[in-house]
Structure 1
Amino acid sequence: MIISILSAAMNGLSLFIQKQSINNMAMELTRCIQINGEVNHTFNELYENMTKNKVEKPVVKIETEYIPNTKKVQLGKSIKITITKEAKFLGVPVTIQGRGVGVSEVYHKT
C-alpha cells in the first residue's frame, strides 16, 4: 500500500516537472520570436538545443500574423506558442500543454 502511494506521488512529481519544463520552453521560444521579430534559424536552433536529448520531441504551434510571404512578425503583433507533449500518469496517457504569449518588439519596413 505504501509503495503504491509513493509510486503515485513520484509519478505525479514527474508530471509536474514535465509541465514546468514545457511551460519554460514555450516562454523561451516566444521570447526568441519577440526579440528577433521573426521565426528564423535562431528559433530553430533554440528549439533543437532544447529538445536534443528528448526521445519524443514536443509539437510546437505558433499563432501569429506574419507579414505576407515571410515569417516576420510586425511590431506590436501578438505571438502565441502552444507546445504539446504526450506523457503517462500511472500508466494512463495524458497530454501536457505549455503556452507562451508575447508581442513582437521589432519594426520591419514593408
Structure 2
Amino acid sequence: MTDYCLFTITHPEAKRIYIRGIADITVPIDEYDKIIEFYEGNQLKKSLPSNPYNEGSKDYKLFEELLSAIKSNFEDIGDDLVFATQWDSKFHEWSNHSATEEYIIDMEKVTV
C-alpha cells in the first residue's frame, strides 16, 4: 500500500490563485524534492508550474508571489504534507489545513 498526500496551496489574498500537487508520503519518507510533484495542466512535474496568467496582470503578480512563497518555505510545506491525515471526521479536515501570511495549504492523505 502506498500513501499519498493530495494538496492545494492557495494565495491568502486570492483563492483563485492556487497550485495543486501530490506527495508520496509512504514511509520511509525521502527528500521532499523527490516526493513532491506539482500539476502543470494535467501533467505532474517535479518542478513548480509556469505562471499561466498574462504578464503585468494582478493575477500574474499574485501567482509569482505564491511561487516565491513555496520556494522559500519548501521545507516547511514538506513537513506539513508528510503529516497529513485521512479525512474520516470533521476534526481531521481542520488538521489538514495550514495557513501562513504567504500561503494556505489544504491537504488529504489517501492510501492506494
For this structure pair, what is the TM-score category when the shorter chain's length is used for normalisation?
A: under 0.3
Q: 1 or 2, which has the higher strand percentage? A: 2
TM-score, normalising length from structure 2? 0.25
TM-score, normalising length from structure 1? 0.25
